[in-house]
Structure 1
Amino acid sequence: MRAFELDSRLAADTLSVAPLGLCQLRLMNDRRWPWLILVPQRVEITEFHDLRPLDQAMLTFELGLVSKAFKQMVRADKINIGMIGNRVSMFHCHVVARMTDDPNWPDPVWGHGAREPYGAEEGEALVRRVADAVLSS
């Protein structure tokens, strides 16, 4: 059996926040929107229905935990959750915090402008804040 290995595109576009029970929690490296990614640590999963029922339940629990803590932390007006995977087939979940005054409100964040990576210190500080918010809830 192969070991789980994070897709290289997800690794390149995100910063590691924390391991959860099922998922790796990662921060999208784009300062335009507070944006998290949950990646179930399972091999050869491309769709939600590919997960075993217990993993589906665990993912739902982790999504709820993360989205609630994240919404409170960034004072978001809305949390968008997406499981799209058209460009990166490894199954992963987007948790995007939206504010009514963000750059593309109310439209989706995908396909809008160019990514703006965090500076090293800014990214590290946000990773710590997210980890504290999620892991203490």
Structure 2
Amino acid sequence: MFELSPVLERDSILVGCFPLCQLRLMNDAQFPWFVLIPQRNGVTEIYQLVETDRQQLMAESCLLSETLHDAFSADKLNVAALGNQVPQLHLHHIVRYTTDLCWPEHMWGKFPAVAYTEENLAKILQKVKSLLSDDLVSLGDGADLYY
């Protein structure tokens, strides 16, 4: 059974699952910020995935990137797999604007996270789930999503 890092579980909200990855929203309303987490235990780097999983990760990342860029009218989309603080493989997808708090610098550690209000969380989850509904194999609805 897939085990999610406790840090990722604490700091993010499940949106749903693609065939390979969990899609989670980071609980920081300052940036539309999502992470893809391949549901494979013990993987810290992309090259550690088998070839078919690497291809699937790239397909899911590109789909998410295009969807977020268009849905949020991004000036730039930052995609990164750092893993310095949380070694479990996860790809950040962060919508950036030339007007955001940190532009043009990175946003890690610059400002404390600001949690979503219930209303704003519901809006962003509904927006992303509706746009990706044909591609998510399971929506984050409280059901057991671990393969």
- Whether the TM-score (by the shorter chain) exceeds 0.5 is yes
Q: TM-score, normalised on structure 1?
A: 0.95
Matches of 2:70 and 2:131, distance apart in 1: 9
Matches of 1:50 and 1:29, distance apart in 2: 28
Identity of aligned residues (%): 36
Show the counterpart of 1:49. Answer: 47
**1:43-122 alignment runs, 5 A limit:** 43-122=41-120
Q: Tell me if structure 2 keeps the 8 A contact 1:15–1:127.
A: no
Match status 1:130 vs 2:118: no
Paired residue type of 1:29: N
Tell me how large the CA RMSD over aligned residues is: 1.1
Runs (5+) with no aligned partner, structure 1: none
Matches of 1:29 and 1:56, distance apart in 2: 27
**1:16-31 alignment runs, 5 A limit:** 16-31=14-29
Matches of 1:22 and 1:127, distance apart in 2: 20
Q: TM-score, normalised on structure 2?
A: 0.88
Runs (5+) with no aligned partner, structure 2: 136-147
Matches of 2:126 and 2:40, distance apart in 1: 25
Aligned-residue offset at 1:114:
0.5
